């Protein structure tokens, strides 16, 4: 069973979708800890409602980014951790954190990377005028949404879309894709070679 530590800053719908897949018995994993940099994040109350240990970790409580990230690492190291899952975690993790992390770090981003990294990816897509967008689950490296791509799902972009309507369409796919990727990890099917990710054949 995969032990997951989730980092989330806000609404927590991706985190909840993963937890629901676990509760439905379709994902062999356990979320052992939910950490949030925002004490008011809805993700914290979702965690508590589902009996998941949850802690607010406001960066302002620490002297600098390094001290904050060291404390985060100390917290993560308290228990088992096979993967660190960023689910709407809005702070950039420093290279020192990424190097010292006890497990690979995954992120979900609401665009087809490498298009539209960074904030407001859906708004960027609408304003650019692309006809297809989507979401990407990727390994986290020290760049901005630049790590090896594990999986992507595409959605159409319509002429009358705005940031909100496109975000809603993408979010439906995000909720399915993150759990799907975690199933591959749980089955030991994810291989990384350089920046190329291969999903090996699964047994039935
Ligand atoms: C999602 O769109 C995710 O792709 C992005 O931030 C948003 C988080 O939403 N990284 P939620 O907190 O999971 O509802």
Distance CA 158, CA 166 (A): 8
Residue 202 has what pLDDT?
76
Residue 167 has what pLDDT?
98
Burial 161-183 (b: 16+ CB within 10 A, else e): beeeebbebbbebbbebbbbbbb
Residue with tokens 């390094």: 66
pTM for the full predicted model: 0.97
Written as tens digits, the pLDDT of the chain (204 aa) is: 999 999 999 999 999 999 999 999 999 999 999 999 999 999 999 999 999 999 999 999 999 999 999 999 999 999 999 999 999 999 999 999 999 999 999 999 999 999 999 999 999 999 999 999 999 999 999 999 999 999 999 999 999 999 999 999 999 999 999 999 999 999 999 999 999 999 999 765
Residue 204 has what pLDDT?
55
Cβ of residue 166 lying under 6 Å from some atom of ligand 1: no
Closest ligand 1 atom to Cα of 11: 12
Distance CA 104, CA 98 (A): 8
Catalytic residue numbers read 109
Please give the distance, rounded to the nearest whole angstrom, from the Cα atom of residue 204 to the centre of ligand 1.
31
Residue 203 has what pLDDT?
64
């Amino acid at each position: 069973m995969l032990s997951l530590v989730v980092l989330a800053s806000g609404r927590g719908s991706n985190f909840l979708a993963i937890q629901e897949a676990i509760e439905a018995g379709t994902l062999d994993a356990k979320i052992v800890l939910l950490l949030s940099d925002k004490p008011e994040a809805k993700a914290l109350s979702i965690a508590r409602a589902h009996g998941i240990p949850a802690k607010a970790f406001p960066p302002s409580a620490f002297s600098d980014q390094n001290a904050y990230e060291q404390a985060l690492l100390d917290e993560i190291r308290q228990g088992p951790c096979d993967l660190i899952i960023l689910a709407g975690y809005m702070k950039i993790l420093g290279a020192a954190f990424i190097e010292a992390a006890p497990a690979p770090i995954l992120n979900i981003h609401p665009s087809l990377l490498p298009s539209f990294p960074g904030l407001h990816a859906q708004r960027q897509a609408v304003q650019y005028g692309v006809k297809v967008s989507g979401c990407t689950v990727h390994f986290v490296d020290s760049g901005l949404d630049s790590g090896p791509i594990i999986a992507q799902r595409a959605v159409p972009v319509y002429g009358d879309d705005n940031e909100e309507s496109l975000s809603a369409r993408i979010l439906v796919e995000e909720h399915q894709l993150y759990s799907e990727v975690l199933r591959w990890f749980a089955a030991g099917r994810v291989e990384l070679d350089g920046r190329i990710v291969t999903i090996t054949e699964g047994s039935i």
